[in-house]
Amino acid sequence: MSEHGPDRSTVTGTVGALAAGPATTAYRPGRTLPLRVELVRQLRRRRTQVTFALVAVLPVILWIAFSLAPDGPPSGSLNLVDLAQGSGVNFAVFALFASASFLLVVVVALFFGDTVAAEASWSSLRYLLAAPIPRARLLRQKALVAAGLSTTALLLLPVVALVVGSLAYGTGNLVSPTGESLTFLDGAGRVLLGALYVAVQLSWVAALAMLLSVSTDAPLGAVGGAVMASIVSQILNQITALEDLRDFLPTRFATAWADLLATDVDWGDMTRGVFSSLTWALVLGGGAVWRFGRKDVTS
């Protein structure tokens, strides 16, 4: 499969495999488009391979940047940049902070926004539905695979950062900007838990990208629309004049995972962040199911 879409023979063969097995086997909607088949199709795509490669190489790029940067004058207060070279865990914290607000948003939007729109742009979506694969099942299978790929990518970043940071800066304690300290193992666990929080918090981006994906035949439009919505929400969150209205923004608690860096964790903002993101995801995801179920698929 090329990045511009499968050729007709590939589509025909895939549809035949998806639809159904031996001729003596009765048609069962619940057995169409197995997760394994969809996962293999997505893993073979160049965009998936490039995305994972970029996520894995980012910590190396950050380490090179720190190595080449000249030492600046000491500042009066510590921040994440100052602490990043203190230990492997601190380096992983910086890598997650540096990527969570944009790069990881793009990763999630890409996996969800491209999945259905790409099929439409290749004119293979109608062949999948003609297999026949029920629309709700097709959307669910694609969403599950996209969720698995997104979560794996989001966890890959801190894992690689922990390895690179530990080799470069050692396995010392995690030191927060407030001066609190955690052991390496406790700090590593907090970082991975923070990555899981980011994955859940970005569920609204996933749902929006899926809604846009079933609404357009242009994958770039679906991905770009979800990323743009995240950027706008982050900008609005910086406008203090909005006061309590900011609590309804899906990005209001995007950085709440920073509370995990404290010795005694305050779960309040993270709980609110999970609730807010899942609420947005439920509404937008329901819209995607509704839209796809009524869409006239001609491509």
Helices and strands of the chain, counted as H and E runs:
12, 2
Tell me if 90 sits within 8 A of 175, measured CB to CB. Answer: yes
The answer on pLDDT for 6 being more than 90 is no
Q: Are 210 and 114 in contact (CB under 8 A)?
A: no
pLDDT of residue 5: 58
Q: Domain ranges in the chain?
A: 30-68+76-294
Residues 246-296 pLDDT 10s: 999 999 999 999 999 999 999 999 999 999 999 999 999 999 999 988 887
Measured in degrees and rounded to the nearest 5, phi and psi for residue 140 equal -65, -45
For 182, phi and psi rounded to 5 degrees?
Answer: -130, 150
Mean pLDDT of the chain: 87
Reported pTM = 0.87
Say what the pLDDT of residue 134 is.
85
Confidence of residue 8 (pLDDT cuts 50, 70, 90): very low
Rounded-to-10 torsion of CA 22, 26, 31, 33:
60
CA 207 → CA 49, 52, 102, 142, 275, distances in Å?
Answer: 22, 21, 17, 12, 15
pLDDT at 106: 96
Q: Tell whether the model's pLDDT for residue 143 goes beyond 70.
A: yes
- Mean predicted confidence (pLDDT) in 140-154: 95
Rounded to whole angstroms, the Cα distance separating 223 from 212 reads 8
- Residue 20: what pLDDT? 46
More confident residue, 235 or 177: 235
Distance CA 86, CA 69 (A): 15
State the pLDDT at residue 294: 85
pLDDT band of residue 82 (cuts 50, 70, 90) is confident
Helix 35-43 vs helix 135-169: angle between axes, to the nearest 10 degrees?
50
pLDDT for 25 beyond 80: no
Higher pLDDT, 22 or 195: 195
pLDDT confidence band for 22 (50 / 70 / 90): very low
- 9 — pLDDT class (breaks 50, 70, 90): very low
Query: Taking each helix axis from N to C terminus, what angle separates 135-169 and 46-68, rounded to the nearest 10 degrees?
Result: 20
Region 235-246: mean pLDDT is: 92
Radius of gyration of the chain (CA): 22
pLDDT digits (tens, 9 = 90+) for 34-75: 889 999 999 999 999 999 999 999 999 999 998 887 765 555
Rounded to an integer, the average pLDDT of 164-186 is 92
State percent of the chain over pLDDT 70: 87
